[in-house]
A and B are shown apart, each in its own frame.
Chain A
């Protein structure tokens, strides 16, 4: 009984009218209708594409070349059941994640160093430009030579791919810092260290996160590519192995999983960004 009263008392009084406003306001209703339409059309598009693919496979084009959604689905089920796929996902993610972290650490570190120290930046600049221009895939054989076929080589290669977007964005972020903010903290008696960690780095964070978003796919590309060259495990291995055996259904299945992983990683970074850069998303 007292419980019921409490519930009645704590319930916000505005709840009802507000709900009515949302239901009645024509602009809000129009917006909602549009959202529903977009989602419906997206689903329809995938139904049409997958259906067309399914129908074309075996009639217009041989399934040997294009497989078909149903075959891919069964291949997926089989890979999951055998335990091969979960393990492959795990090893690929491990490489992608460690390479990502290593690349971020080096990218942010060097980005800050370059941004803070003009001499270092000027000395190393041409070397980094050279390294940037080099097609990095060409380095895989060299890395295999140096680090073997194992985890280290894959991680280092992934880190190399991840490094550049992060590094460049961190550098741009540091150079973009408002000089006024630096002046103001210096007058407060801040040391150089304070200036770097309390102004430069936080101010560059928005740029760093933009770099993170760009390099998420690179982390996955790096891991998969390294596995295709060298490995006996992971999604990259499944891709090259199924391709070698002309198992198109298996190949597509691996590609589907890789894509989903990429989307999931991007979503994760987006989540972290919204939390860390809360102040940016609170603009009115």
Chain B
């Protein structure tokens, strides 16, 4: 089986003025097609960099990033990317934001009726029906995330990259959106790489979890999460296996957090 995304001994160094920031060091990783892979790690360890490399928005310093077997050497339009920051276009309404991916790229020539139908379908799927004509500034944070999700799904890419999508939301809304995300993803066959710093969230959602060390980011451990699907994010955290996973992974994470605090 060809991994859908593959990191082959990837390192990345940034220059901030004259200081060097060693973001990733010798990261090797294979993402299986159709899996939900969560990436957890302390802040600043290179999680977003991992996604940026996958999306082809930056190039690795050393090593190679491959998508579906071939090297990613320019923007990777096979993926959809929900970035960490809010990135809806503020001058477009929800409807027109969600429709944006169909105006550019390979869906450009899709008939208008079909486009409209698709946009409406995904807006309904994320529960934003009735808000089609609202501007992002008129929406709550959770609704903006929903709109971004709809925009990422609308062009039906094979792989979805999500960078701490629910990080800034309150606990209750977070659970609701996690549940909706799982409902959308389970059975879709799509690959989902989900970055988070919330271990509970990672275990609730993922098939596999990668724990990263603090900077320079390396892979500290990889864990298979064998909780049954379809999963109920509200219930799953109370199962005994969940607790076991949590303890093991927390140990791996905490090692670094101590390390990290000593450094700063």
Contact = CB atoms under 8 A, between A and B. Distances in A.
A15 interface: no
A141 interface: no
Instruction: Report the contact-size class of chain A (Cβ under 8 Å from the partner).
Output: 20 to 34
Interface of A is mostly: helix
A187 B57 CA distance: 8
B135 A187 contact: no
Nearest to B82: A184
Contacts of A191: 104
Given A188-B155, A202-B89, A279 B137 contact: yes
Contact of A187 (B77, B90, B138): B77
A277 B81 CA distance: 27
Contacts of B106: 189
A194 B77 CA distance: 14
Nearest to B161: A187
A188 B104 contact: yes
Interface in A172-219: 178, 180-181, 183-191, 194, 198-199, 202-203, 205
A10 B106 CA distance: 48
Contact of B104 (A178, A185, A282): A185
Contacts of A199: 89
B137 A198 contact: no
B77 A188 contact: yes
Contacts of A189: 75, 77, 101, 104-106
Contacts of B155: 188
Contacts of B80: 187-188
Nearest to A277: B91
Contacts of A283: 137-138
Contact of A198 (B55, B81, B104): B104
Contacts of A181: 87, 89
Given A189-B106, A191-B104, A282 B138 contact: yes
A282 B93 CA distance: 11
Contacts of A186: 57, 75
A118 interface: no
Given A279-B137, A282-B137, A284-B138, A183 B100 contact: no
A186 B52 CA distance: 12
B105 A188 contact: yes
Nearest to B137: A283
Interface in B72-110: 75-77, 79-81, 83, 85, 87, 89-92, 100-101, 103-106
Contact of B90 (A183, A198, A279): A279
Contacts of B91: 202-203, 205, 277, 279-280
B181 to A, nearest CB: 19
Contact of B83 (A183, A194, A205, A278): A183
Instruction: Give 3 closest A-B pairs by Cβ, nearest first.
Output: A189-B105, A190-B104, A189-B77
Interface of B: 52, 55-57, 75-77, 79-81, 83, 85, 87, 89-92, 100-101, 103-106, 135-138, 155
Interface of A: 178, 180-181, 183-191, 194, 198-199, 202-203, 205, 277-280, 282-284
25 contacts: A180-B85, A180-B87, A181-B89, A183-B57, A183-B87, A186-B57, A187-B77, A187-B79, A187-B80, A188-B104, A188-B105, A189-B75, A189-B101, A190-B104, A198-B89, A198-B103, A202-B91, A203-B89, A203-B91, A205-B91, A277-B91, A279-B90, A279-B135, A280-B91, A283-B138
